[in-house]
Amino acid sequence: MNINKTHSKTDLVELINTIDLPVVFGHSDNKKSIQSKLITALEKDIFFKPNVYNISNKDELIIFLTNPSPKKTLSVKEKKTIMKICKAIVMYANCNYFIEGQNYYKDIKQIEDDMLYISQYGDLPSVRRACKLMNANIMSKKHYEPLISPQVRKEIDEKVKLKTKNQYACKILKGPFTIKFD
């Protein structure tokens, strides 16, 4: 079995820690040594807990590792293009969704094409913001859902949990109670 080269060292370490695989590694280990330890660990019986990768058995793990990484790594040029599109969409949203005042866009079709292009890079916060602003447009009938990798989804969920405040509520109990005064 060969692990796809698109999986980085940090992706493999995060996968091992999330699924609780019996692999021992250190900070001095490089990607190749972690891959070899992971392959030797796959020869043993492994029990899987529910995880963000939706991997429940060894076959699914092997398929996940042999396929390219779901985390899309972008080149500098691609990221620059995506960020330019995001800025233009945010400007369009801030101008109350009017095309007339735009320098970048000339028609709605061009905006829809750009939204479909950038929505596949949902790991970037700017893309998620652009999708959120475009979904807030009451004149648009389309809903744009950014594709977010499981690792980033987990990080977003953890941030949301940290931001939520405790809501104290009154608890009402019914039934017979005995009150004693001394």
Domain locations in the chain? 9-66, 76-149
Residue owning tokens 């900070």: 27
Single pTM value for the model: 0.66
pLDDT over 90 for what percent of the chain? 30
Q: What pLDDT does 72 receive?
A: 65
What is the rounded distance in angstroms from the CA atom of residue 108 to the CA atom of residue 137?
Answer: 12
pLDDT tens digits, one per residue of 33-90: 988 888 888 888 888 888 878 888 888 888 988 888 877 678 899 999 999 999 999 9
Question: Is pLDDT of 128 > 90?
Answer: yes
DSSP state of 162: H
DSSP output for 69-91: PSSPP--HHHHHHHHHHHHHHHH
